[in-house]
Amino acid sequence: MYEFAIAWEWLAFAVRWLHVVTAIAWIGSSFYFVALDLGLTKRDHLPPGAHGEEWQVHGGGFYHIQKYLVAPERMPEHLTWFKWESYSTWLSGFAMLCIVYYGGADLFLVDRHVLDVSATTAIAISLASLALGWVLYDLLCKSPIGKNTWGLMILLYGVLVAMAWGYTQVFTGRAAFLHLGAFTATIMSANVFFIIIPNQKIVVADLIAGRTPDPKLGAQAKQRSLHNNYLTLPVIFFMLSNHYPLAFATAFNWIIAALVFLMGVTIRHWFNTTHARKGKPTWTWLATALLFILIMWLSTVPKLLTGEERAEAAPAFTRFAENAHFPAVKETISTRCIMCHAAEPVFDGIARPPNGVTLESKAEIAARAREIYIQAGRSHAMPPGNVTDMTADERRLISAWFESAVGETR
Ligand code: HEC
């Protein structure tokens, strides 16, 4: 059933495409509104209930925007809502989590040197952590500490650092970073779904019924929106990080994650201050650069990589190691791939195994069978630029190996 491997790869691509597009739409509109909000000016001639206004120019026209802090006196005929940007980002992101990390749990989610759990247990931990994260966050915001903006932020930072550490104790480094992103993004989407939009709906209902809306509803939504604002950049970092092993697969990955959250604050602070026309706090860029340098340095501190090597392939992959083509495949990989894909690569300019992929042992090759098939059998993405002169016959061998191994067991 090699068709399945190919369809799976395309499904992953399609969902990733969707996820990136929806995320751009969500983050774009969120950045736009934060900047708009901070840039509003108060004037005398504003209509009753209006709090500030701004003039903007874009795409050949001028826009005159006014903000009503609680609500306008009468309901406008048409209201544009901003919610599907957020929901569709979460839904497509969750679909990707299922495709890449739950579908490929034995390789991408579970690292038996970190914690020896079954794929099912790991998936259960993953789902539970995302749900509990929101419950805990929401309780903290609604507790008495929630009234103190900075106290709450510091406490939430502590929770995020604890999660960064916790995830690295359970999953592969790659999955740990991805989960930290998903944990944070779930809080952000849930803020929209459970607080921001429902509060807004109550305000709208009050307006229609002729009641004066409670300003507390708006204030609560504003607090959640502020958190979302500071969390956006770290989430994007974590989502992209799975292409950069120095970030997720080095000894101090969880401390790196903790520093990334701080960079989210230092960068956003510059934009928030500038958009509010309160000066340009250049020091935030210096702080960001120092944090980034610290992260780069931390990634070089040596790690007892993944402990001793597994000699035997994990049960999920034995069919690839026991296949009749395997010896020839291993031979091909030794001549065409391992100069780069080794714990200590010998290829000029490659200091670490690319994307953390090592193909030296039987177990490693068997576990990566599907990726090898896609990268070097069905496509010629690897070796890059065919630098090691892989032949067409060798690619056919890799395809035959994968296709016969998956065929055998179905
Ligand atoms: C010249 C060095 C080099 C050689 C030789 C090489 N690779 Fe790679 N490989 C890389 C680099 C660099 C990357 C990271 C590419 C990226 O991040 O887009 C990579 C990534 C990969 C990945 C992970 C792809 C992903 O998206 O995570 C796989 C699997 C892989 N290579 C398999 C192979 C196989 C199989 C061979 C031999 C047929 C091979 N490579 C030969 C340099 C090499």
Condensed to tens digits (0 to 9), the pLDDT of residues 354-366 reads: 888 999 999 999 9
| pLDDT confidence of residue 152 | 93
| pLDDT confidence of residue 342 | 94
Q: How many CA atoms lie within 13 A of 96 on its CB side?
A: 21
Confidence label for 307 from pLDDT (cuts 50, 70 and 90): very low
Tokens of 35: 């900047």
Ligand 1 contact, 350 CB (< 6 A): yes
Nearest CA, atom 31, ligand 1: 382
Nearest CA, atom 37, ligand 1: 337
Cis peptide preceding 384, ω within 30 of 0? no
Distance CA 212, CA 221 (A): 17
Tokens of 388: 């090691």
Distance CA 119, CA 124 (A): 9
| pLDDT confidence of residue 303 | 54
Ligand 1 contact, 357 CB (< 6 A): yes
- Residues 6+ positions from 174 with CB-CB distance below 8 Å: 108, 241, 242, 245, 248, 249, 356
Distance CA 271, CA 34 (A): 10
Picking from 263, 104, 237, 231, the residue whose alpha carbon sits closest to that of residue 172 is 104
Nearest CA, atom 19, ligand 1: 354
> In Å, how far from its chain's centre is CA 173?
13
Tokens of 173: 């480094």
Tokens of 376: 């070097």
**Nearest atom, ligand 1, residue 336 CA:** 37
pLDDT in tens, 83-103: 999 999 999 999 999 999 999
CB 24 within 8 A of CB 35: no
**Nearest atom, ligand 1, residue 350 CA:** 2
Ligand 1 contact, 340 CB (< 6 A): yes
Which amino acid makes up residue 156? L
- 119-145: average pLDDT: 95
| CA–CA distances in Å: residue 196 to residues 51, 147, 156, 223, 330 | 19, 17, 19, 10, 55
